[in-house]
Structure 1
Amino acid sequence: MPMNPLEHDHRYGELDQVMRAYTGQIADDTQDEPSLALTAYLRHTWHNRPWALPIAEQQLRDYASTPPGRLRQHLGEFYAIPDVGLPDGGVQNWLFLLADHIKRSVESGEVPPPATPVTHWEWQARFAELGQFLSGWFSQDMPDEFHDHDAAVDDYRASTDPQLLARLVGELHELLALDLDESDYAQAVAELGMEVDPPAPYSPSGWLALVADRLGTPRAEYGPPA
């Protein structure tokens, strides 16, 4: 019988986050240098959930020390390590290597400095609500669902909790503060799930600034005359 969510997270929750960080990335970690994927995981986790790093190190080490046997695989009571391009015989040593890198980072206090996200996972983890907004309201189906971009923004505003709305505005300002080239902003919104172009004549950053301004301005509420 497969594990329930609580048991899964207790055993593998942070291990799963580390594995997700390798989506679309090469597992080319060495003894001397962590990969781009692991560096992105360390950077984001240090700055947002530093307490999770020792948990990740322990879960990686526990899994590598006691990989699932045939019975657990048959019952579905295990975490399936995704294919990261390594031979089966190399995965166990790779997990130990990741645990060693995380342990070294924690013990030395070496925190990767803030930087522009470099992997798909890091974009999604850092700008979670913006990813929900762009992928949910600006997918390739947007022209069939809304009259225009403004209508999609209005629908998001009307259907979203004000606290999440405020979080989105904060993430928009954080993204704009990165001061990227327009080609990099185009890549950023694509990484975050936007599948349509910004409305003419706006560039990606210009449209993001417009959305931040619109959503950051309280909507006037008019009651009946006294």
Structure 2
Amino acid sequence: MSMKPLEFDRRYGELDIVITAFVGQEPESPDPDLAPPALQAYLRHTWHTRPWALSVAAQQLREYARNPPSRLRLRIGEFYPVPDIGLPESRTQSWLSEMADHIKRSIEAGDVPPPATPQTHWEWHARFGELGQFLGGWFSQDMPDEFDDHDAAVRDYKETAEPQLAARLVGEIHELLALGLEEHEYLIGVAELGMEVEPPSPHSVESWLLTVAESLATTGPDYGK
């Protein structure tokens, strides 16, 4: 019988977030004294958004390493099955302990990483969640078949999204633009966030996103008038 959501979160919720941050990334660091880049991304984001979760992550990682589940318990859903992130099964327990140690050292040293450009797919989506929904949902490769042009797609989002989400999107666009990236870096960023079409001519990514933010910012609240 699978665990109920509350029990899963209590025992494995933050562990699952840490593991998800490693999907598609190298699990090991060339320097054993440094956290792998994927864990650095997790630390960077979590320190600035949910610092209380770091100690939970360290505890859940260490507890899982100390008490690995049997195959039977995994099969009946009583334990969290660690996804394959490129580690031999025999290495998993020691690796989990090492990641817990990295998190513990970061907490004890009060080592808060400065804000920086996201470095992994997970970090892009963790930091810019609504922008990822917008770009991936309205500007996938199917956009030309669904809308007449980019402006029509933006209007559709504007007409269907909750005002609070649209406001969040505007804020995330401005946060992204505040990174001050080069055009090719913005292209990488929006691609990571799910955009599969070019911005409309003659816009760069930066100028197009600014026009999107300006358009959405004109959305007034509907009080039932």
Scaled by the length of structure 1, the TM-score of the pair is 0.94
Question: Which residue identity does 2:12 align to in structure 1?
Answer: Y
Number of aligned residues: 222
Contact 1:31 1:97 in 2 (8 A): no
Q: Work out the CA distance in 1 between the residues paired with 2:136 and 2:173.
A: 15
What are the within-5 Å matches in structure 2 for residues 1-226 of structure 1? 1-29=1-29, 31-218=32-219
Contact 2:163 2:219 in 1 (8 A): no
Contact 1:61 1:95 in 2 (8 A): yes
SS of alignment partner, residue 117 of structure 2: coil
Question: Which residue identity does 2:179 align to in structure 1?
Answer: L
Deviation at 1:77, TM superposition (A): 1.6
SS of alignment partner, residue 16 of structure 1: helix
Scaled by the length of structure 2, the TM-score of the pair is 0.95
Q: Work out the CA distance in 1 between the residues paired with 2:162 and 2:58.
A: 36
The CA RMSD measured in Å over matched residues stands at 1.5
Worse-matched range after superposition: 62-71 or 171-180: 62-71
Percent sequence identity over aligned pairs: 64
Contact 1:123 1:188 in 2 (8 A): yes
Which portions of structure 1, spanning 4 or more consecutive aligned residues, are displaced by more than 3 angstroms? 218-221
Contact 1:64 1:95 in 2 (8 A): yes
Q: Work out the CA distance in 2 between the residues paired with 1:39 and 1:220.
A: 39
Deviation at 1:218, TM superposition (A): 3.5
- Which structure 2 residue ranges, 5 or more long, are not aligned? none
Deviation at 1:25, TM superposition (A): 0.6
Over 3 Å counting, the alpha-carbon distance change for 1:68 and 1:178 in structure 2 is same
Provide, for residues 83-139 of structure 1, a one-character-per-residue CA deviation record: whole Å limited to 9, x for no partner: 222211111100000000101111110111111000000000000000000001111
- Which structure 1 residue ranges, 5 or more long, are not aligned? none
Provide, for residues 3-51 of structure 1, a one-character-per-residue CA deviation record: whole Å limited to 9, x for no partner: 1222111111100110111121101135411010000000000000001
Question: Which residue identity does 2:134 align to in structure 1?
Answer: F
